[in-house]
Structure 1
Amino acid sequence: MHREPRLDRFNDNVLAKYQVYNSIFLTLPYDEIKRTGALLPLFQEICEKGFEENLNPSEIVERFFDKYGENPTEKEKNDLLFRFIQYIERQVVLFDAIEDASFSIVNNMDGRGTLRSVKEEAEAKQKVDELREYLRRFKVRPTLTAHPTQFYPGSVLGIITDLDKAIQKNDLVKIKQLLAQLGKTPFFKKEKPTPYDEAVSLIWYFENVFYQSASKIHNYLQQNIFDGEEIGNQVINLGFWPGGDRDGNPFVTTDITLRVAKRLRRTIFLNYYRDIRKLKRRLTFRGVDEIMGELEKKLYESAISKTGEVKISLEDLMSKLNNIKEILVDKHQSLFVDEINDMINKVNLFGYHFATLDIRQDSSIHEEVLQDILKKHGGENGIFPADFSSMSDKEKQEVLSNVKGEIDPEEFGDEGMAKATLSSIYAMKDIQEKSGEAGANRYIISNCGSEQGVLQPFAFLRMCGWDKPTVDVVPLFETVPDLQKAHQVMENLYTNPVYKEHLERRGNKQTIMLGFSDGTKDGGYLMANWGIYKAKESITEMSRKYGIKVVFFDGRGGPPARGGGKTHQFYASLGPTIENEEIQLTVQGQTISSNFGTRDSCTYNLEQLLSSGVSNEIFSDGENILSDEDRKTMTELAEISYNTYTNFKKHPRFIPYLEKMSTLKYYAKTNIGSRPSKRNKSAELNLSDLRAIPFVGSWSQLKQNVPGFFGVGTAMEELEKKGEFGRVQQLYNDSEFFRTLLENSMMSLTKSFFPLTAYMKNDEEFGEFWELIHEEFERTKKMLLKVTGYKHLMQNQPAGRASIQARERIVLPLLTIQQHALRMVQDLNKNPEKEGERLETYEKMVTRSLYGNINASRNSA
């Protein structure tokens, strides 16, 4: 089955099936949607032809109604456009389900980057011992975040799962029923979800997907690479942000943090209980069945306990499972020992915490909290000296390093952030008591740019009666200037005696997070990626000097503009100058559902991540080392690109364009996520306060994916003009890192479609600005094709390209409607008092069209 090319497998198993099932869907007899299904393909055709003829979106919509309408009123036209939106959203779901169902056919589950191929390569190169040794240290940690880049409610996720199964079985009757159900199930969220709602919907993936996939991988490694011996390492562990990530989200409270931890604990108990119950039907032997009965009872009671009381300790559970294993080996010819091994592995992997709940807050908030603490605890009998505020930075660091106490968060009123911040630390203690240390043992500081940025929360921990905190303090360096000095900040911390002692207690390991999203927003595509690469190198070199094992945690989003793209290729390309003993990354929104949404895709993508670390460490044989000449070229390209992007951002039309011509201000109205779309409350739009998701998302809705390419073309063209294009070519041939960057940029270009907004070039205010973006798009495309030698973009990934094209085709009518509505809003805004009701209708149309577009871009991952 897998012998035919991947593109053919995609065409036969995804595209062809989509055409068949979509035609069933379009002919379903919905009373309230008569003729919609028949008219949508006609509208699609008019959109495609209209853009070829350079019509603008409103002209395309009008042409459709002239041709197929019977003099409809404006209300009738809008009603039909809203129905089209509903239909297209559901077509996206259908396409998702078909791609999920065909995942194991389109992707070779034993091919390159899978564990089987890793094992075979290690055997062929006689590196099995090295591989074992590395797997005893190496870890992969995907961390699910609540960043809102997808909005499917739970009911729709359920339909996708059922459709996936029905499509695999080709059960037409069931498929028809589910499509009918899909047509009648609401997608639109009237209420914003709470952070707890977000957590519950993501824990679904842990319970139904990761639990099975991670343990399956662990079992495979144990049996096939370690010959049945214990690995002695959790090769995969899970991280979780919803309910713990307070950065810019005022709705995350301590109560929610504790409830989420309890929900994670309850869910893992339920999963263990189900497994033990199933296993109990097999382990009916004397000496074993009594223990199984006791485990079943205690796990069930722990799962349903209202107070969250744990009825059996983790140590007790583990010793009973090991006891069962001994009895099976000694007295029952090892019957079902694999099943009990699987259970032991799961408990080793997930403990009672299931996933580590990270706490995150912005450094500017810590500064405010410190000021509040100084007011109450500064002075003669206080924790802080009275003159703290007038001290030098060095003196302040000295005080922060040595401060201790037991401050009660209740002393601070609900005004300000002191109470919330300190109580989140007490919550971490509470979670560690009930779920074990791994339940919550990382405090992440966003926008960290200094030693004080780390020492403030480090001091808060010890002011909460936690003299030797079992918590890792994790700085997140995001902007280009912060990345450039990150190694100096860390060196000063490593040489701080108190912090050094803390690191020794934590096994001389320091986790450091490096952000992509805000980095791209701040420095443009090449500079953000190169800035992070260089920061990793200098931090690695400096950490090795001090005997500290540094672990990098990457804030990767889905699209390349947020650090996403081909993740495993990216990690495989890093080379020996970057510490790579753990791969930790954030996963969010449609990246969760596309890369980890089913057991097949989750297993495949976790294996790819594992193998990328292995191939970088064991199989690369020094191939990933950048020469001085290549470094010089990369630095030059990044700097030209950075200047180009920075000048673009300073353009007087930059912010107004996003505000007036894009969907930026509509993101807050979608009710996708619980957090506000910007960090502060001021009416004035300030780029630094703007969150990366609405920023990158707005460019994506315009089909202009600027953050994924702007500056890349200019940088390469400048070297070409100097007659030095050979250097770019050399870098491309030598460096897998650079190749991966360019491939991901190509993905951004492939998803751009400038005819959609070509009408803007005639706009008095924004015409010239639109031309500026379009020219850089064309320049980047030309340069990328030149350096790669391709005839068209993504030539080396035909199946990925076909998937993008299919999705783009599905949403083209949706984008057309959205742009038409945006044009109407701009027009009606000239007279908002008179046009209030019509204005509201078109604004609602823009917001509603956001959903399908957001969900359709799932293969940006």
Structure 2
Amino acid sequence: MSDLAKQEAAKDLPLKEDIRLLGRILGDTVRAQEGEAVFDLIERVRQTSIRFRRDDDIAARRELEAMLDSLSRDQTIQVVRAFSYFSHLSNIAEDQHHIRRSRAHAIAGSAPREGTMARAIEAAFEAGVTNEQIVDFFNDAFVGPVLTAHPTEVSRKSILNCQLKIAQFLDARDRIQMTPDESEENDAAMRRAVLTMWQTRMLRPTKLSVLDEVDNGLSYYSYTFLRELPKLYVALENLLAKHGDTWKTMELPSFLRMGSWIGGDRDGNPFVTADVLREAMRMQATVALEFYLHELHILGSELSLAQLLVSASDQLLELAERSPDKSPHRGDEPYRRAVAGIYARMYATAEHLLGHRVGRPPVGRAEPYAYAEALHDDLDIVHRSLLANGSGALAMGRLRRLRHAVKVFGFHLAAIDLRQNSDVHERTVAELLAAVRPGFDYLALDEEGRIAALLEELATPRPLASPFVNYSDETVGELEIFRAAAESHRLYGRDCIHNVIISKTDGVSDMLELALLLKEVGLLRPHERAIDVNIVPLFETIGDLQAASATMDRLFSIPAYRELLATRGEMHEVMLGYSDSNKDGGFMTSGWELYKAEIQLIEVFKRHGVKMRLFHGRGGSVGRGGGPSYQAILAQPGGAVQGKIRLTEQGEVISSKYANPEVGQRNLEVLAAATFEATLLAHPEAAPRPEYLEVMDRLSEHAFKAYRGLVYETEGFEKYFWESTVISEIANLNIGSRPASRKKTTAIEDLRAIPWVFSWAQCRLMLPGWFGFGAAVRAFLAERPDGMQILQSMCKEWSFFATMLSNMDMVLAKSDIAIASRYAALVRDEELRNAIFPRIRAEHQATIDALLAITGQQELLDGNPLLKRSIRNRFPYLDPLNHVQVELLHRYRDGNAEERIKRGIHLSINGIAAGLRNSG
């Protein structure tokens, strides 16, 4: 072994020790809870699986399959539970190792790493970026991760709580030199946490409601966002302060803010109603206000400064005088009394907004704050007084973080996006118009006719809806949810709902229809030429992406619409759909059409003088636009980021990124750093060689043909998909409030993209993340004898192409064609199975061969040894879960509908998802 290899092995040793420790504790727990025989069985399965993976021992594979296929019903459940929990524990150990390595770099004084703000700012100064340019960036920037709920989120909050405790105990072992007694207590506490996890239900007994999803999403604010986001702002300000006087006293604006779809996304989800939106807002506000009250209570105890010893500003003294705290014991403590007054006002604010009391009762009554900015103004008075009177160090602690929190989270916590399908808006508008203009058939109009009719209505403040007309339930529901949005603006401030998104946008009329509905509730006011939210088109299918620039060009040519943009800072957001475009056209064509759409949109926005903000609807998996966020942002075309970006965070990716506070802060920093670099360090004129664009067009054409030929043009493929994956069982699993399909059919076209991708991941085929690439390269090389050299140059010189290959590399490394063949055997029609699976297997191998030839790798993931190690460590614990899942599916589909069989299938889905980490 080389010296470098020995050093790397030494770095990984703590990870291996943590995995062994957690595995040993889990094993002891299984032995104590289930008995020696069960422990011995699980250990035999584990060792056999490791032997097969480590030694590529075919005999071990046959032994493993025979062992797993012969399990009794109860043994099956126990094996699935054990290996599922081990996947979760391995995730904890890996996250802790990332934290450990980051701390080791910091302690050693290593150069800032890629993806950190320290490295991004250092690179900016090295490149000659001026202080003024950096200030302008932060003043104009917006980075918005948006949490979404969907049908494949498998993590329960109770399980996450157990995992967080285990992570904290592991972390303590790293940071603290423990006495023997302390070490023993740490071990005992960790064992209690693992035992609690083992005895906690991994599955939900009933289907989630939307408000359950809201509650689950809010847990990440308690774990991470409320504390880590303010810390990130403080760390960034401290970092900048080292670069000169310009930054010494500058406070960063709130350019990084959280968003949410949970409670506002009603596209295909009939359970998202106006009442649900109102309750989601109230729940979010509760979390924010309780946090502020908690922090203010502690802050008051910390600021015990006596007026005899420390001066205070006139404004601070006035704030203290207005406080209901009149205790003589605190008469000479103006800061404490001022904070007590702020607390009393916040307590009254919570009571006013929520309709009930939260937190400790204040010392007396006070008026509520009308808006969050007023709270921040009062905190600023405390801050300035401390700075002016020799107590600046006290202003730089809890108070500083609280001030940032109030600016970031307001009274609403996170902006909720509203989303609905354009077809619903279209039907609603048609019904409203028909009621006021009898005989007028809006749906019969062509696109230009619709635009003319909508602009006519938008020009007048007259509302269309009448209380004396009986509208359909759909129309009533749509109007009511917009009224709830307007109410929320009045209660929590306009920041609570910024964006209203139109799914399946394919024309200008889709956006004008939404504008008309917003006018009905006062969110658009024609006489003021003002609009209070962003109208956001979502271009999803391949055809919609290809038409996106023309649609926006036509929209910006309408003077009345341009006048509205003036009230939105001449900025317009466009959302790009990665999931449906992938399901529609395949991995390669989706990625390429998205890239081309961005280039065309950049040109249209520039020509019309409108600022562009792209919202990337990325999933966790590569098949839904996933992959490392840092590389994805930097791979955008020059000029696409412009300091502004939003992107979705979905499914189990949310828990893997944000359940651990330190890992969460790191992931937030990565988004900020990538946006900073893409804006200030990318050259707008830098573009791939024209030849590369032509090559990508040809590759995309070939890949599209191969993908569509399999998925949409092969007779029986729909049946093959439903029988060879766990899609049926996913559709019935209690893991989300939203149906798996948009309509009650099994058609691929109607299936939501999320369960489509998730199902392929479960059977370890990952088809949406690679299929068509091998065929595309083969066809291209047949056309161009020098094609391989061109593709290799593209990989070296073009970040878009390199990132595409890197993501495909990861997906292929996580796939397993042998395991996938066992799922193919679930297809009862042998002729259908033999017509489809060999095509998939051949394309899988062709894709791997093409990828290795282009990248120059000998094996998959040679360029990413950390991920390669992680996957290698996981496979021995994933393989048994897949084998058991197949056997359970056989039994279930043969008519054994016992509850334990269904439970075993659902448990295996959870465990495989945990092991893959980014499958949804």
Aligned partner (choices 722, 729, 737) of residue 674 of structure 1: 737
Aligned partner (choices 189, 194, 211) of residue 179 of structure 1: 194
What's the counterpart of residue 846 of structure 1?
905
Residues 1:190 and 2:191 are matched in the alignment: no
Aligned partner (choices 538, 545, 567) of residue 505 of structure 1: 567
Query: 1:798-817 counterparts in 2 under 5 A?
Result: 798-817=865-884
**Conserved? CA contact 1:634–1:731, under 8 Å:** no
Cα separation, 2, equivalents of 1:291 and 1:695: 56
**Conserved? CA contact 2:643–2:676, under 8 Å:** no
Cα separation, 1, equivalents of 2:443 and 2:655: 48
Cα separation, 1, equivalents of 2:678 and 2:432: 47
For structure 2, the 5+ residue unaligned runs are: 107-111, 174-185, 241-245, 308-333, 358-366
Q: How far does residue 860 in structure 1 lie from its aligned partner after superposition?
A: 5.7
Cα separation, 2, equivalents of 1:156 and 1:57: 32
Query: 1:120-519 counterparts in 2 under 5 A?
Result: 120-129=122-131, 130-170=133-173, 171-225=186-240, 227-231=247-251, 233-285=253-305, 286=307, 287-303=334-350, 306-307=354-355, 311-313=368-370, 314-339=372-397, 340-379=399-438, 386=440, 388-403=442-457, 404-406=461-463, 416-466=473-523, 467=525, 468-519=530-581
Cα distance change on mapping 1:257 and 1:8 into 2, 3 Å: farther
Cα separation, 2, equivalents of 1:625 and 1:612: 18
Aligned partner (choices 118, 121, 129) of residue 120 of structure 2: 118
Aligned partner (choices 84, 99, 111) of residue 79 of structure 2: 84
What is the SS of the residue equivalent to 1:281? helix
**Conserved? CA contact 1:679–1:691, under 8 Å:** yes
What's the counterpart of residue 329 of structure 2?
none
Q: What is the TM-score with the length of structure 2 in the denominator?
A: 0.86
Cα separation, 1, equivalents of 2:617 and 2:58: 39
What's the counterpart of residue 555 of structure 1?
617
The superposition leaves residues 675-712 of structure 1 with CA deviations (integer Å, 9 ceiling, x where unpaired) of 1101112xx31112101111001111111100000011
The superposition leaves residues 105-161 of structure 1 with CA deviations (integer Å, 9 ceiling, x where unpaired) of 245574222112223223333424233332222221000001243322221111011
Query: Among the aligned pairs, what percent are the same residue?
Result: 24
**Conserved? CA contact 1:761–1:771, under 8 Å:** no
Higher mean displacement: 472-481 or 293-302: 293-302
What's the counterpart of residue 738 of structure 1?
801
The superposition leaves residues 398-426 of structure 1 with CA deviations (integer Å, 9 ceiling, x where unpaired) of 22123244455876769541111111111
Cα separation, 2, equivalents of 1:469 and 1:25: 56
Cα separation, 1, equivalents of 2:824 and 2:440: 61
What is the SS of the residue equivalent to 2:859? coil
Cα distance change on mapping 1:49 and 1:806 into 2, 3 Å: closer
**Conserved? CA contact 2:822–2:886, under 8 Å:** no
**Conserved? CA contact 1:412–1:419, under 8 Å:** no
Residues 1:693 and 2:727 are matched in the alignment: no
Cα separation, 2, equivalents of 1:559 and 1:661: 20
What is the SS of the residue equivalent to 1:848? helix
Aligned partner (choices 525, 529, 544) of residue 591 of structure 2: 529
Higher mean displacement: 398-407 or 133-142: 398-407
Q: What is the TM-score with the length of structure 1 in the denominator?
A: 0.92
What is the SS of the residue equivalent to 2:147? strand
Q: How far does residue 332 in structure 1 lie from its aligned partner after superposition?
A: 3.7
Query: 1:697-846 counterparts in 2 under 5 A?
Result: 697-721=758-782, 722-723=784-785, 724-759=787-822, 763-826=830-893, 828=894, 835=895, 837=897, 842-846=901-905
Q: How far does residue 175 in structure 1 lie from its aligned partner after superposition?
A: 1.2
**Conserved? CA contact 1:478–1:516, under 8 Å:** yes
Cα separation, 1, equivalents of 2:817 and 2:32: 35
The superposition leaves residues 22-75 of structure 1 with CA deviations (integer Å, 9 ceiling, x where unpaired) of 122112244445522221121234456789677999985544577xxxxxxxxx
Cα distance change on mapping 1:821 and 1:341 into 2, 3 Å: closer
Cα distance change on mapping 1:412 and 1:628 into 2, 3 Å: farther
Q: How far does residue 738 in structure 1 lie from its aligned partner after superposition?
A: 0.6
Query: What one-letter code is carried by the residue in structure 2 that aligns with 1:439?
Result: C
Cα separation, 1, equivalents of 2:917 and 2:389: 52
Query: What one-letter code is carried by the residue in structure 1 that aligns with 2:89?
Result: L
What's the counterpart of residue 19 of structure 1?
20
Cα distance change on mapping 1:214 and 1:6 into 2, 3 Å: farther
What is the SS of the residue equivalent to 1:765? helix
Higher mean displacement: 790-799 or 556-565: 790-799
What is the SS of the residue equivalent to 1:766? helix
Cα separation, 1, equivalents of 2:356 and 2:466: 24
Cα separation, 1, equivalents of 2:62 and 2:513: 54
Q: How far does residue 836 in structure 1 lie from its aligned partner after superposition?
A: 5.3
Higher mean displacement: 471-480 or 842-851: 842-851
Cα separation, 1, equivalents of 2:60 and 2:437: 64
Residues 1:592 and 2:654 are matched in the alignment: yes
What is the SS of the residue equivalent to 1:268? helix
Cα separation, 2, equivalents of 1:134 and 1:281: 38
Cα distance change on mapping 1:343 and 1:128 into 2, 3 Å: farther
**Conserved? CA contact 1:510–1:548, under 8 Å:** yes
What is the SS of the residue equivalent to 1:360? strand
What is the SS of the residue equivalent to 2:289? helix
Q: How far does residue 315 in structure 1 lie from its aligned partner after superposition?
A: 3.4
Q: How far does residue 303 in structure 1 lie from its aligned partner after superposition?
A: 3.7
What is the SS of the residue equivalent to 2:412? coil
Query: 1:560-709 counterparts in 2 under 5 A?
Result: 560-621=622-683, 624-649=686-711, 650-681=713-744, 684-709=745-770
Cα separation, 2, equivalents of 1:669 and 1:391: 40
Q: How far does residue 304 in structure 1 lie from its aligned partner after superposition?
A: 5.5
Cα separation, 2, equivalents of 1:685 and 1:402: 41
Cα distance change on mapping 1:5 and 1:644 into 2, 3 Å: farther
Q: How far does residue 817 in structure 1 lie from its aligned partner after superposition?
A: 0.5
**Conserved? CA contact 2:274–2:477, under 8 Å:** yes
- What is the aligned length? 835
The superposition leaves residues 283-313 of structure 1 with CA deviations (integer Å, 9 ceiling, x where unpaired) of 2234322210111222234345641799223
Higher mean displacement: 18-27 or 217-226: 217-226
What's the counterpart of residue 90 of structure 2?
95
Cα distance change on mapping 1:593 and 1:843 into 2, 3 Å: closer
Query: What one-letter code is carried by the residue in structure 2 that aligns with 1:689?
Result: D
The superposition leaves residues 419-463 of structure 1 with CA deviations (integer Å, 9 ceiling, x where unpaired) of 111111111111111111110121101111111111111111112
Q: How far does residue 168 in structure 1 lie from its aligned partner after superposition?
A: 1.5
